[in-house]
Chains A and B, each alone.
Chain A
Amino acid sequence: MTEALFPPPKKNPQKRSIKPTRPPEVRSRASLGLTAAAAEGRFALQQCTHCSAWQYPPRDACVNCLSTDLEWNEIAAEGTLIAETTVQTSPRLYYRERMPWRMGTVQLDAGPVILAHLHEDVAEKSRVRMIARLDRAGQGVLVAMPVEDTPLMEDASLMRELTADPKHRRILITDARASNAPAIAKSLFDAGAATVFAGEAEAWRPYPARSELENLGVDIMPLDVTDTLSVQTLAGEIGGKTDILVNNAQFVRPGGAMSRNDTGFARDEIEVNYLGMMRLAQAFGPAMNSRTSDGINSAAAWVNILYVGALANTAGFGAFAASQAAAYSLSQCLRAEFRDSGLRVMNLFTGPTEDDWFQLLPPPKVLPQAIARELVKGLQAGLEDVWCGDIAKDVRERFRRDPKVLERELTFGSEGP
C-alpha cells in the first residue's frame, strides 16, 4: 500500500536544484488523440467506424478491415494485468533518475493489449482499471490502477509525476478580491495545500471577503497584475516557492464594440485579463520552470480561469470575450514555453458566474464553490482543460462539432419586423 507523503523538510539552499528532465515526447500524429483525451482525464482509444474494432497502439488504418475512418471513443476501462516488470535501468535520464519503475501488460476486457504504468497498489496479475493521464512531457499515457481505490493512492510517486496535486504545495491565488478567492483557498487547504498566498491590489480599499481569507489562514500579499513593478516585487519575494499559480484576476464588463462609447473598459480588460497574465508569466514563469523537479513541493501547474466566450464570441459580453480569447491564446503560448520543464498549464473554462456583472443573464450560473471544486479536482488529475458548469460544457460540445455553426448561433440578431 502507498505510504503517506509527508511535508518535505526545508530546502537546503546549498544544494543544487535538480534540473527538469522529461520522458520522451515524440509521438505519431494519430497518437496525439490519446493526449487530447488525457488532457480532459478521459480514457479513450481509437475505434473503427465501419467494423467497430478497437485499435491500440494508435493507427492510421483499421487493423481489422483497413478502413481509414477511426475515431476516439471512450472504452470500458477494466482489464487484467497479465505480465509486469520493474525496470531497473534505462538510457533515458528522466527514468534513470526515478528508478525502479514498474510497468506491465494489461489486456482490456474490450480486447486491446496495453503496455502501461502500474500504480504501486496494483497487485501482481490482478484485475485493474485503466486511466489516462498526461506525463511530464505533456503526452497522454495509460496507467493501470487498482479496481477499488486504496487509501493514499494519490501519494504514490507515480501519481505525483502525473498530476499537480495541491497536497503539500504552496499556491498563489492572484486576486484576493475576486468573489471566488475564499472558495478556492478553502478547497486548496482542504486538499492539503501547505501554503496559500493571495494577491491583493489597492489594499486601502476594503472588501468583505478579506476576513474570510484571513480566517482560513491565507497569506495576503500586495499584488496588482496591471502593475509590472508590483508583480516583479512579489515574484522576488515568493516566486521561488510558488508551486502552483492560480490566475483568477479578471476584469469583466458587459458590452461589445458599438454598445460601448469608448475603449476604456476594453483597455482594462486587456490590462488585467491578457497583459496581467503576461506580466505574471514573465515574473513567475522562469522560477517555476526551473523548479519542476524540486521534490515533493516542486512547481507543478499554472492555472487560468477563463470565460468560455474565449472559444467563440458571446456578443452580450463581446469585448470581454475578446480579452478572454486573447488570454486563451496566450495560455497556449505558455504551454509551449513551459513544455520543456513539464509545468502544466490548466485552463478552467466557466460560463457566466454568479456575480454582479452577469446579473442580467439567466441561469444556470457558476458558483464560486463549483469553480473551487473543479479546480482542485483538475489539479489532482493533472488535467489541461476543465469545463466547469453546464454552459461551458455545452459550448465545448458545440465548438467541437462545428465552430462556424457555434459562431452563427452566438451572433443571432434580434427578431425583426
Chain B
Amino acid sequence: MALPASYEGVVLAAPFSTTYQRYSIDTAHFWIAKALKGSLDAAGIRKDELDGFSVSSFTLFPDTAVGLTQHLGLSPAWLDHIPMGGASAGVAVRRAARAVQAGDANIIACVAGDTNHIDSFRQLLSSFSRFAMDASYPYGYGGPNANFALLTDRYMTEYGAIREDFGKICVSQRDNALKNPNAVMKKPLTLDQYLNARPIADPIALFDCVMPCAGSECFFVMREEEAERRGIPYARLSAAIERHNAHREDPIQLRGGWTVDIERLWEMARCSPQDIDVLQTYDDYPVIVMMQFEDLGFCEKGTAPEFVRNHDLTITGDFPHNTSGGQLSAGQAGAAGGFIGLVEALRQVTGQAGGTQVKAARKALVSGFGMINYDRGLCSSAVILESGVQA
C-alpha cells in the first residue's frame, strides 16, 4: 500500500491536563470545559477563534459534541465525536490534521474528559457494548479486569512473562507519577507491594489495574504558520496510523492492530525505534504495554519481558516510558485515558513537561489502544511527534 500524503505543515500545540480526581461530583461537561479553557489560556487563543472541535467522552450522556457546542458557546465549522476510548487521541489527530491541511478548519481543539461518580464505572460497564453484554459480562462480570486477566494468562504461558516483569512496568510508572502533580497516586510503590497486592482477577492484582477517576486532557491542531504567527510552542506531526478489528483470526489477543500498519508509520516518519526519545503507550494493564513494545518495533514478538528486565523505564532511565505515570499511576479519567499519553508527549517534545521532562526529548511515539468489545481491544492507533518550537 502506498504511503498516505504527508502531514507536513500540521502541528500540535497547547497541551493541557487537569488535576485528576478519584471521585467527582461534577459532570463530563465541567471537566471538558476545564481542559478546553486550560489550553485556550495556555495558547492565548480566544474561544471564538476556534473553528474546529473534537470530543471524546463516555459520560456526556445524553449529550454529544453537538450539545457541547451550545453548552460551551462554541460555533465550529468542523465537529467530531470520537468514541474509541484508548485509541481516541491518535484518531482525533489524524482526522483533525487532514481537516486543517484541507482548510476545513484553522484551529481545532481536541478534548477528552470524563467524570467519575461513585457508581459511574459500574454503569459504564453495563452499557458498554452488545457483545460484552451478550457474551462476556454474564460470565463473572469481571469487566475489563477479567478480559485482561485472560490475555495476561495467555501471554505469560506463551512468552514466559512473570509477574515481576509486569511489576517493573507498574513500579517504574509510579516513580514517574510522583513527579507529576496532577497524578492521583501520590505514594511510592515497591515491587513487594505490587506482588503481594489484593488479587483482582488472577493473575491480575490491584496494581495491574488503573484507578478510574475524573479528569480531562486537551490539545490543539493547527497549521505551522498559525502557531508561528501566534508564537506558541508546537510539535510537528510526523506520522499517524489507526486500525480497527485487526487479526480477527487470532483466537486470543497477543498482538494489536499496530502490526498491520507499523512499517508505514516508521516509513512516513522517516525514522526508526532507536530515534524515539520518549515513548507513551496505552497502559490500562501492563500486558498491553508489553504488546506495544513488541508491535511498535522496540523488540521482537515475545521478548518484551526480557526487554523490560534490561531497560530502565523511568524518566531518567535509558528508555523513558509513560513519563506522567500513565493511567496506571496518574489515573484513568475515562476517555481522557486515551489522551494522557499524547498530551504528555506533546509537553515532552515542546519542553513543557516540568518535573517529568526527559532531557533533550525531540521525538516521541504515542500509541493508543481501546474498546474491549468482547474478548479483545479493537482499536489501535499510533502517532509520532517531533519538536517544532520549544517553550
Contact = CB atoms under 8 A, between A and B. Distances in A.
Chains A and B bind each other = yes
A88 B251 contact: no
Interface stretch (A77-85, A246-254, A354-362, A405-413): A77-85
A163 B92 CA distance: 49
B4 interface: no
Interface stretch (B47-55, B145-153, B169-177): B145-153
Interface stretch (A97-105, A216-224, A235-243, A365-373): A97-105
Contact of A91 (B121, B130, B135, B151): B121
B252 A91 contact: no
A232 interface: no
B140 A103 contact: yes
Contacts of A91: 121-122, 125, 141, 143
A82 B252 contact: yes
Given A24-B141, A91-B122, A85 B153 contact: yes
A85 B199 CA distance: 11
A230 interface: no
Interface string A76-119: 00000011111111111011000001111101000001111100
Contacts, number: 115
B138 interface: yes
A10 interface: no
B76 interface: no
Interface stretch (A25-33, A203-211, A328-336, A393-401): A25-33
Contacts of A30: 134
B154 A26 contact: no
Given A88-B201, A113-B252, A95 B140 contact: yes
B202 interface: yes
Interface residues of B, number: 37
Contacts of A58: 134-135
Contacts of B157: 83, 125
Interface in B198-245: 198-204
A151 interface: no
A139 B138 contact: yes
Interface in B291-350: none
A105 B135 CA distance: 11
A88 B375 contact: no
Given A86-B202, A91-B122, A113 B153 contact: no
Q: Which of B126, B143, B151, B201 has the most CB of A within 10 A?
A: B201
Contact of B133 (A28, A105, A107, A114): A28
B181 interface: no
A295 interface: no
B30 interface: no
A85 B138 contact: no
A29 to B, nearest CB: 10
B136 A23 contact: no
Given A28-B133, A57-B374, A141 B138 contact: yes
Nearest to A139: B138
Contacts of A114: 135
A165 interface: no
Nearest to A125: B157
A92 B145 CA distance: 13
A115 B135 contact: yes
Interface of B: 121-122, 125-126, 130-131, 133-143, 145-146, 149-151, 153-154, 157, 198-204, 248, 251-252, 374-375
Q: When A and B form their complex, which 10 residue pairs have the shortest distance between CB atoms, in order from nearest? A: A85-B149, A57-B135, A92-B141, A87-B142, A101-B140, A91-B122, A83-B154, A87-B140, A31-B134, A83-B150
28 contacts: A24-B137, A24-B141, A26-B126, A31-B134, A57-B130, A57-B131, A57-B374, A82-B154, A83-B154, A83-B157, A85-B146, A85-B149, A85-B150, A86-B199, A88-B198, A88-B199, A88-B200, A89-B142, A89-B145, A89-B200, A90-B140, A91-B122, A91-B125, A92-B137, A95-B140, A103-B146, A113-B375, A115-B374
